[in-house]
DNA sequence: ATGTCAAAATTGGCTTGACCAGTCTTGAAC
DNA sequence: GTTCAAGACTGGTCAAGCCAATTTTGACAT
């Protein structure tokens, strides 16, 4: 299943990752529009749309005739990982924030969104059965819930924390963490969360989300 | 003197005016891209860039194959914010995160830290009485609490969100928000939070923190 | 060697025109 | 009147080109 979002959003995500991976540090200049567009395999107008989104977010600054510059971390509230921030802390932070967000989400969730979440989990199961890592489905599940309260800042923080886990640095730490079995367990935990949302039970959803992320952190460390 | 800002920003302003004037009520459809571009005397790509900005702001919704629709006032009422993230959202995010963090903080706080927080509030009172803005004391109070659970990531998020409130863009929105009176009220709310921590009462602390940041958001908007 | 500054290269800003891909409308067939 | 497929919308994307601002280059004077 390919990404159905608009192209500029997908491009913005990819550029965010370029920045966030440290390939382009704060203050540094991104490749020229023409070059970056070719590098990403998209047209210049589409790239420009993505750059405007990033500019509005405060992630970059566009200077006419000069170039595209990466702004400081604080503005983009990015999650570059200075020393002292362990994987366990990352999952604790996610547990704290997402279990709070889901309480609000449970109160406003619509039937359509429940169907969407169900589809995401079905897609996740297919990926696992075919031996692939359902990272994108995992991300969509958590982000869809995080967007429900209608707070773009909270949604952005949840997305950033999720992406941090799959950054190259974390990948090195993680090693062979993501086995087929651990993904199956994670899927089951997602099912519990969804069941709580379907029951419109905020406290059960909160508990399920907290439990899932805590357990996910332990699996990460024990491997 | 002609406007030197980027074209997409000027176009976004003009479309906002079209919406705001009531020419296109919430829920109604804007003219098609091609037509609107001609009507405004600009190219379609430039108009599209403006529409993306408005979409991020939450002023419009773009539905492929269908049209461009004006969203409800509530979202677009938070105008002028160059970010898609409004001040209210910022304070909501802080309320959600900090009220969660303080629950853990209340469980591990030491007498030394309580004394430190008391000193910070005393310093805050002095600043207010001398007509200065106790922003640094405010920051220390919130950050000291956020650091208690021992999670560097959560502490950094709290710091980033605090700093974002005093960014240039927020300053423009804030206007005359920070009067001596509003700071006195904020100080009183801090006292309530500290009292709950001194009583080692996590739920009271949580409620006090949530109440403080919610009220702070309202004061921000109402001025 | 060094500083100056204008030409050239580079970069973002914007337009035109075209075609693709969803969505909606219309009207003929039943 | 109902159905449903063809056509007419609408947004999505791409290609190529020219303009305007900035930066770099290098010839020239010192």
B83 touching A (Cβ < 8 Å): yes
Indicate if the pLDDT at residue A74 is higher than 50: no
Q: B151 CA to D13 C1', in Å?
A: 45
| Any strand C atom closer than 7 Å to A63 CB | yes
Q: Which of A49, A73, A79 sits opposite B49 (nearest CB)?
A: A49
Q: Rounded to an integer, what distance in angstroms lies between the CA atom of residue A45 and that of residue B183?
A: 47
* A100 neighbors B97 (Cβ within 8 angstroms): yes
The reply to whether the predicted model has a pTM over 0.90 is no
Nearest to A153 among B8, B45, B90 (CB): B90
pLDDT confidence of residue A176? 45
Taking CA atoms, what residue in B is nearest to A157?
Answer: B157
CB contact under 8 A, A93 and B49: no
**C-alpha–C-alpha distance, residues B95 and B216, integer Å:** 10
**CB–CB of B78/B217 below 8 Å?**
no
Q: How many CB pairs below 8 A link A and B?
A: 91
Q: Is the CB of A64 within 7 Å of strand D?
A: yes
CB-CB neighbors (< 8 A) of A49 in chain B = 48-49, 52
Domain boundaries defined on chain A: 7-76, 87-221
| pLDDT of amino acid B132 | 80
Q: Does strand D come within 7 Å of the CB of B34?
A: yes
Structure tokens belonging to residue A117? 């979440």
Say what the pLDDT of residue B159 is: 83
Q: Answer whether residue A201 shows pLDDT above 80.
A: yes
Cα–Cα dist A146/B110, whole Å:
34
pLDDT at A17: 85
Question: Which positions on chain C have an atom < 7 Å from some protein CB?
Answer: 10-18, 21-24
How distant is the Cα of A116 from the closest Cα of chain B, in angstroms?
A: 18
Tens-place pLDDT, residues B24-83: 888 888 888 988 999 899 999 999 999 999 888 778 888 888 888 887 653 433 333 333
Q: Select the residue of A48, A49, A90 nearest B153 (Cβ to Cβ).
A: A90
Residue B70 bridge partners (DSSP): B60
- Straight-line distance from CA B66 to C1' D11, in Å? 7
C-alpha A59/C-alpha A31 separation (Å) is 15
pLDDT at position B175, please? 43
Residue of A nearest to B152 (CA): A85
Q: What is the CATH number of domain A87-221?
A: 1.20.120.530
| DSSP string over chain B | ----S-HHHHHHHHHHHHHHTTSS-TTPBPPPHHHHHHHHTS-HHHHHHHHHHHHHHTSEEEETTTEEEEPPHHHHTTTT-SSSS-HHHHHHHHHHHHHHHHHHHHHH--HHHHHHHHHHHHHHHHHHHTT---HHHHHHHHHHHHHTT--HHHHHHHHHHHHHHTSHHHHHHHTT---HHHHHHHHHHHHHHHHHHHTT-HHHHHHHHHHHHHHHHHHHHH-
Q: Is the ipTM of this complex over 0.95?
A: no
Residue A173, pLDDT score: 44
Chain A from 1 to 40: CB within 8 A of any B CB: 8
Dihedral pair phi/psi, residue B149, rounded to 5°: -65, -10
Cα B31 from chain centroid (whole Å): 32
Residue A76 and residue B71: Cα distance in Å, rounded? Answer: 26
| Residue nearest D22, CA–C1′ metric | A65
Q: Which of residues 35-94 of B touch strand C (CB under 7 A)?
A: 42-46, 63-66
pLDDT per residue rounded down to tens, chain B (223 residues): 557 778 898 888 888 888 877 788 888 888 889 889 998 999 999 999 999 998 887 788 888 888 888 876 534 333 333 334 577 888 999 999 999 999 999 999 999 999 999 999 999 999 888 878 888 889 889 999 999 998 888 988 898 788 776 543 444 444 445 567 788 999 999 999 999 999 999 999 999 999 999 998 888 766 5
Determine whether the distance from the CB of B4 to the nearest atom of strand C is below 7 Å.
Answer: no
Give the model confidence (pLDDT) of A151-195 as tens digits: 888 998 898 788 766 543 444 344 445 566 788 899 999 999 999
Q: Which nucleotide is nearest to B46 (CA to C1')?
A: C14
> What pLDDT is attached to residue B76?
37
Closest residue by Cα to residue A165 from A220, A127, A123, A219: A220
Average pLDDT on A210-218 reads: 91
CATH topology of domain A7-76: Arc Repressor Mutant, subunit A (1.10.10)
**Looking at residue B90, what is its pLDDT?**
87
How much is the average pLDDT of A123-145?
88
**Is there a contact between B93 and A48 if contact means CB atoms under 8 Å apart?**
no
Q: Phi and psi for B211 in degrees, rounded to 5?
A: -60, -40
Residues in chain A with CB shorter than 8 Å from the CB of B44 are: none
B167 interfaces chain A, CB cutoff of 8 Å: yes
Partners of B120 in the β-ladder: none
Give me the sign of the Cα torsion angle A37, A38, A40, A43.
Answer: positive
CA distance from start to end of chain A? 30
Q: What is the mean pLDDT of residues A88-112?
A: 92
Contacts of A85 in chain B (CB under 8 A): 152-153, 156
pLDDT at A80: 37
Torsion of CA B212, B217, B219, B223, to 10 degrees: 170
CA of A38 to C1' of D16 (A): 15
Determine, for residues A57 and B97 on separate chains, whether the beta-carbon distance falls below 8 Å. Answer: no
Among A53, A57, A96, the strongest candidate for a mutation testing the B interface, having the largest count of B CBs within 10 A, is A96
Q: Name the CATH architecture for the domain at B87-222.
A: Up-down Bundle (1.20)
């Amino acid at each position: 299943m390919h990404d159905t979002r608009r192209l500029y959003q997908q491009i913005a995500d990819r550029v965010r990752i370029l920045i966030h991976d440290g390939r382009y540090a704060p203050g540094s200049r991104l490749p020229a529009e023409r070059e970056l567009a070719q590098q990403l395999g998209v047209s210049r107008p589409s790239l420009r749309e993505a750059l405007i989104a990033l500019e509005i977010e405060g992630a970059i600054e566009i200077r006419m005739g000069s170039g595209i510059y990466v702004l400081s971390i604080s503005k983009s509230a990015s999650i570059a990982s200075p020393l002292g921030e362990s994987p366990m802390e990352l999952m604790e932070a996610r547990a704290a924030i997402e279990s709070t967000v889901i309480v609000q989400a449970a109160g406003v969730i619509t039937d359509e969104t429940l169907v969407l979440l169900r589809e995401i989990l079905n897609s996740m199961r297919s990926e696992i059965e075919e031996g692939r890592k359902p990272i994108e489905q995992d991300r969509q599940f958590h982000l869809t819930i995080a967007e429900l309260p209608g707070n773009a800042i909270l949604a952005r923080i949840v997305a950033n924390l999720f992406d941090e886990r799959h950054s190259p640095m974390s990948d090195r730490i993680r090693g062979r963490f993501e086995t087929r079995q651990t993904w199956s367990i994670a899927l089951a935990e997602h099912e519990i969360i969804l069941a709580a949302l379907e029951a419109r039970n905020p406290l059960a959803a909160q508990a399920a989300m907290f439990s899932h992320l805590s357990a996910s952190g332990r699996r990460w460390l024990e491997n």
